Each structure stands twice: as C-alpha cells, then as structure tokens.
Amino acid sequence: MDFESLHYSLDLATGNGLTLSSEQRAALQTSLVILKRNYKFSRVLFWGKILGLKLIKHVLSQINLHHFLSLNSLNCMDWHLLPLATESMIADVALAAQGRFTGDPSHEHTEMRIKGEGDDATEEEVTVKVNEASRLATTVSNIDKDVSVVPRGAFTKSPCGKVQTNRSFGGLDHVEAVKLRNYLHFREPVNLKKKSILEMSHLNPAIDFLDPLSEDVPKGSWCLQLERGSTVCILRSLLWLGLTFFHVPQTPQHGHIYMGDGLLNLDLPFML
C-alpha cells in the first residue's frame, strides 16, 4: 500500500488485529519521506512485516521509473536493500531454510544430509550459504507471485505491451466488488496463456490481461468479506496467512499488506 495513505489504509486492512504501533507509524512517516527523496523513487509502497523469533522485519517496496526494488528494516528507520530473488537462490532457500525467521540478517541455515545407504549411511552437517536476507527476498518474491492482488481495471495494457496505472479507474461497484473474478493476480499471467481463442473472446485485452482469483487452485483459498457496514471489501489469503487486500467500492482506493510469519500454509488442502 502507498505510504502516503498508509495511516488510512492500515485502518481498513488490519481488522484481524495485526497492525503497526504508534511508534512504528511515526518512524515510517519520517523515514520514508527522506528515503523517497534520497533514492529519487517515484513511488513508495509499504509491503508489510514478517514476525521473527527475535526481531520483526519490516519490508518496503520501492518503485522508480525503471526498476522495482525491495528494502527491509528492523526499526522502521534504517533501510537496507534486499538482493534480487534468482532461480538458484529460490532453489537453495527451498532446500535449506526451514522453520520461522530468526530476525538476524546474517544467520545462516544448515541442512542435514545423509550419505551412503544401509549401515554405511552417515549424517553430515553441510552449511548451505543461505542467510536470512536471501530467504527474506525469496519469501517476498513468492508472496508477490502467489497473492499480490489488484481489482479489475486498476491497470491497463497498451497494444505495445506497456502496463500502467489506469487513471480513469473509479473502482468496482458494490455488485461487482463481491465477485472474486473481478480481482486479479498482479504478476505475469499463467492460466491466461492456456485459454483458447473462444474462451478469450469475451475478454477485454486492455484490462483482462491478468489471471483472476476465481481460477486459483485449490478452490476456496480466498476469503472475501464486506466490513465496516459493507463499505469495504476485504480479501484474505488462506495460502499465505496474513495477506490482506482491501478495496473501497466506487473509489480507486485499494491495496494489500502482509503481516505474518512468512511461512506457506501447507495445511490448506485439509482446511477446505
């Protein structure tokens, strides 16, 4: 969510009780203004926070004209760039990193491997060079790919393939806002490429270039509710517990925030 409307957006998206303290809000209000000016970013988005065993990691997404960057902080004042999540990094993190985040950026995860077979099998402790910073960057990337959400029509795609904010977007009406198909994954489309020409005949290529949430597998991984007297639509992910998206119907106001432990909910199939 945009940091310029962070206080207003937090009140809408934190109905589950997880929010920022008054000290953290005051620190963000000061540090993000300075950070945006020093780095010359065009837009600053507060991504959320991951709860560690010792410390809490606050994650910030920075957008300038050409790049998308992520930063993290332990005190909402001192911000540090996160490395870009590569394919090899994601594979190493999936192999080595287990359990909760510790909160220590220099902490390295270890893996126990078994060599040999039968009676000759021995356990050898192998230190995999995966620190908390790499794991955090991978987790942020995975959450963005899986559950980053925008309402239908908030972004447009030009014939040359450029995606940009739709300045004429006035929000979904109250009837369309309660339908899951009107919320889209803000990532490269996956299911859309598999559809036939007949299935895509009723789609508008200018705004229907993303995958809708209604096609997610398994079904039921999203919880859509109306709150504050049916004036705010709230989407909560059951795949990544802690991800909350909000949209105020008939207004362009929308955003999402993650506040959780950074662990994938592997029990989802048994919850449905």
What DSSP string runs through 57-102? EEEEEEE-SS-EEEEEESSSSS-EEPPP--HHHHHHHHHH--S---
**Owner of token pair 């794991």:** 135
**Owner of token pair 């007297």:** 229
pLDDT, mean over the chain = 85
- Residues above pLDDT 70, as percent of the chain: 88
> What Cα–Cα distance (Å) separates residue 45 from each residue in 2, 3, 18, 59, 160?
5, 6, 18, 9, 27
Here the contacts of 5-8 (C-beta below 8 Å, separation 24 or greater) are 5/253, 5/255, 6/46
For residues 46-66, average pLDDT: 70
Assigned token pair, 6:
């962070």
Burial degree of 272 (CB within 10 A; 0-12, 13-18, 19+): exposed
If one counts every other C-beta atom within 10 angstroms of the C-beta of residue 57, the result is: 23
Q: How high is the pLDDT of residue 168?
A: 93
Q: Which tens digit of pLDDT belongs to each residue from 114-168?
A: 555 555 556 565 566 788 888 999 999 999 999 999 999 999 999 898 999 999 9
Tell me how far the alpha carbon of residue 227 is from its chain's centroid.
22
If one counts every other C-beta atom within 10 angstroms of the C-beta of residue 133, the result is: 18
CA angle 143, 146, 150 (to 5 degrees): 95
Q: Which tens digit of pLDDT belongs to each residue from 220-245?
A: 999 999 998 889 999 999 999 999 99
